[in-house]
Amino acid sequence: MLTSENNQILTRVGPGTAMGGLFRHFWQPALLSEELSGPDCPPVRVRLMGEDFVAFRDSAGRVGLLDSHCPHRLADLYFGRNEEGGLRCVYHGWKFSVTGEVLDMPSEPSESPMRCNPNVRAKAYSVHEAGGIVWAYLGPVESIPPLPQMEFMGLPAANVYASKCLMKCNYQQALEGSIDTAHLTFLHRSIGPMEKDVFGVGELQEFGDADGAPRFFCEDTEYGMRISARREGSPDAYYWRITQWLMPTSVLVPTGDDLVCRANLFIPIDDENCWWYRVRYHAGRPLSSEELAEYRHGTLDYAKLLPGTYIPEGNRANDYLMDRTLQRSGSFTGIPSAQLQDLAVQESQGAIADRTKEHLGTSDTAIVRCRRRLIESAKKFASEGIVPVAAARGDLYRRRAVAMLLPKDVTAEQAGSHPATVPSA
């Protein structure tokens, strides 16, 4: 369990907090590229770590992320007109470029000193599009780091599918769910034969179902943590799942050899809500039409969203579409998709889980170490201004997670450093 003080440090991410300050030194997903559908499309509201922004795509297709308030009289720029190379505030017509420069100030006379004041501009943030995501950097402009080089960020667009959904809980609950490989045997269990390989491990799934008490071997790394979980496999082999936690809030989920890879990114909206970005990708080929159909419309893996939103149809008010008949005959939970199953248990912990009441076991080893690493990093940042090396080393994020059978004489160290986990640059 955590002390109340450390739980506050771990979960609070707004301006002026230790963890919020730390997170602002890392590139973060701000929105999906698809949300800005084309040049001069309507602007989009963005909320990250308790702050409000507006995103837009200008006439040349460039993306801008600005503070939500116009620097003139603080009107919300979301109501602005996106036209002819900039976003124009509807209050007095001031127009801003993607870099925050004032392009037009029609309410001021031509001789006004305001027109030549370099300090009059909208606050703008560095952005970059990769992997179907618009990434943003909200930290100090004098120390913008390289982008994280997650494998999917450098692949052709046809090889990658990115999506997101709203989670009504603190980011850490969502992150812990993704590095907790022990729950797979239970929460996502199918009572009958599974219709599709929704977990991307093929026939290896039988070993995950059979052994619900994996042994954990965790190693702190410069980029975060390598989590090696060992289960009983065949008579002469263990089933290993090697998960990669990429600081601060991303997880590479183990998949079988040459199957579609998976990344989960949990991005704080505020202290009580986060976005769950799910990325599916294959380094060697485009995703198939069947795979894309499952990601966009499937019911076994992905949660259905309310039309025109990124809000799941299943929620606390309707018990996440739980079906007690299905629970007896087909699903351990009776909840129709793996994503909804995760939402149900993570949101049910409360908007911010009270970790002073927990009783943790050996299966929670990775959870404990992740919390400790984040809390210690936040404290060092708050007291000494020290930022983890990963924030400035995008190359450290070139990792893979893998599920595999290995002979029983293979050690945890050897399993964790298996070549399949680290592709060549």
pLDDT for the residue numbered 196: 63
Instruction: Tell me which DSSP letter residue 420 carries.
Output: G
pTM for this entry: 0.94
Domain spanning 151-421: CATH superfamily: Naphthalene 1,2-dioxygenase Alpha Subunit; Chain A, domain 1 (3.90.380.10)
Q: Where in the chain is the domain with CATH 2.102.10.10?
A: 27-143
Q: Where in the chain is the domain with CATH 3.90.380.10?
A: 151-421
pLDDT for the residue numbered 424: 42
Q: Report H helices in 57-204.
A: 171-179
**Encoding tokens for residue 248?**
């601060």
Residues of the chain with pLDDT under 50: 420-425
Residues contacting 16, CB < 8 A, separation 6+: none
Q: Report H helices in 334-384.
A: 338-347, 365-384
H/E stretch holding 328 reads helix 324-329
Residue labelled with tokens 């970059």: 128
pLDDT tens digits along 45-83: 999 999 999 999 999 999 999 999 999 999 999 999 999
Residue labelled with tokens 């230790």: 18
pLDDT tens digits along 130-141: 999 999 999 999
DSSP 57-91: E-TTS-EEEEESB-TTT--BGGGSEEETTEEE-TT
How far from each other are the two terminal CA atoms of the chain, in whole angstroms?
Answer: 39
pLDDT for the residue numbered 35: 98
Matching CATH number, 27-143, of 1.10.240.10, 3.20.20.140, 2.30.29.30, 2.102.10.10 = 2.102.10.10
3-state secondary structure of 127: strand
